[in-house]
A and B are shown apart, each in its own frame.
Chain A
Amino acid sequence: MIREFGWIDVLYLVLAMRWTLALTVTAFVGGGLIGLVIAVLRVSRVWPLQAIAVLYVQAIQGTPLLVLLFVFFFGLSIVGLPVLPWIAAALAFSIYAGAFLGEIWRGALDAIPKTQWEAGAALGLGFGEQLRHIIVPQAIRMAIPPTVGFLVQLIKNTSLAATIGFVELTREGQLTTASTFQPFAVYLTVAFLYFLTCFPLTQWSRRLERRSYGPA
């Protein structure tokens, strides 16, 4: 049935944002865990571990997210998991986020002068202790602005989950368009809702960056 695009539709779009945010948070937590491992492997002094991390990052960053999403969606049944868009999206987005967060955090760890590691070693700390007590506390401050920046990318990219039928904001927009035939108004509203979510984060990331590097 065709009807006008009205406030009730806007409300449904706003409600659909729950799933956009749920997917973002899931992927951020999952990707954060993977990213942590990747970053530590990269700064470890064991080359096979470094190589694994490099391969992982290169492979994921060189593949479109859309392809990852479809490989996981169709791969689920092969490994015997139920074919649910939610599971495929959560897995694909976590693995995607893991590569990018891992690379961001490695950059932050690498930015700490080598002498800090050496100072730790001179005090008799092992690799893990140096990392935990000396390197990470300093690196975190540098890592936060780009991490928030990536969070914005992640929120925007969850829109791709619409293509495997996961009903988040963009998919809800497609459904609304199908019943109202007002794509311009609907998609502008959808875009505006993304903007409302992302813009404050972008500004926050920028402010954090200015604070850690001082005024340009």
Chain B
Amino acid sequence: MSYTFQFRDVFAAWEFILQGVAMTLYLSAVTMVLGLAIGVAGAAGRLYGPKPLRLLVGAYVESIRNTPLLVQLFIVFFGLPSLGVRLDATTAAVVTLTVNLGAYATEIVRAGLEAVPKAQVEAGHSLGLSGLQVFRHIVLFPALRMMYPALASQFILLMLATSITSQIAVEDLFHVASIIQSRTFRDFEVYTVIGVLYLLLALVFRGGFALLYQLVFARR
């Protein structure tokens, strides 16, 4: 092995790398909020909606979960313009990631809501609580606690998956890496450094989610 590793040029671009990190965090944060909203709406539609709506949500979830994110991204960014919908790269990325996460979140939220034992709901009704009161006081909190770990891992997977948006030239962390690579030709070094950064981000996310769990759920 006669290769000399050289990280200097990579570290020299640290400000540029930070911009990439900021974009990755932005994409993750926006998508988490919007995707979770879709997930809650989707789960409600699938569990309590009329039959056509249930079928529609089912079709949405299955079509998203059985096709690759990269292809979804290409359909939205390269395909939709032929229908007259022209989105810039970042918007296309947010839309695709949100629609993608929404499908997974729908399944997670639905499973959480279903996991609350029926007997507890019936107990609530027999105490004279209304449907909404039962949902708020009996179903919601245990369901949230049950879906939390799955949601947290899905969010981390999403954060890592934002790297795929670099393929439509969104200037996220991975895209920054490819630009540094083309300037310095230090390809192996660049991608190793970027990989470590993603790993750190994943650890921070995991730690943050664990802390939030302790604060919200552990003491009750």
Contacts and interface: CB of A to CB of B under 8 A. Distances in A.
Q: Are the chains A and B members of one assembly?
A: yes
Interface of A: 59, 61-68, 70-71, 74-75, 77-80, 152, 156-157, 159-160, 162-163, 170, 173-174, 177, 182-185, 187-188, 190-191, 194-195, 198-199, 202, 216
Nearest to B186: A74
Contacts of A198: 65-67
Given A156-B68, A162-B70, A63 B160 contact: yes
A199 B66 contact: yes
Given A78-B3, A159-B71, A191-B67, A183 B78 contact: yes
Contacts of A68: 195
A193 B119 CA distance: 43
Interface residues of B, number: 40
5 contacts: A62-B202, A159-B68, A162-B70, A170-B70, A194-B66
A86 B149 CA distance: 36
A173 B160 CA distance: 24
A62 B199 contact: yes
A117 B66 CA distance: 38
Describe B's contact surface by its main secondary structure. Answer: helix
Interface of B: 1, 3, 62-63, 65-72, 74-75, 78-80, 82-83, 114, 156, 160-161, 163-164, 166-167, 174, 177, 187-188, 191-192, 194-195, 198-199, 202-203, 206
Contact of B83 (A157, A160, A184): A184
Leading 5 A-B pairs by shortest Cβ distance: A184-B79, A62-B202, A183-B78, A159-B68, A198-B66
Contacts of B203: 62
Given A64-B161, A184-B82, A187-B78, A78 B188 contact: yes
Given A63-B195, A159-B68, 5 more contacts: A177-B78, A185-B79, A191-B72, A202-B66, A216-B114
B162 to A, nearest CB: 8
Contact of B174 (A67, A75, A77, A159): A67
B80 A184 contact: yes
A106 B140 CA distance: 31
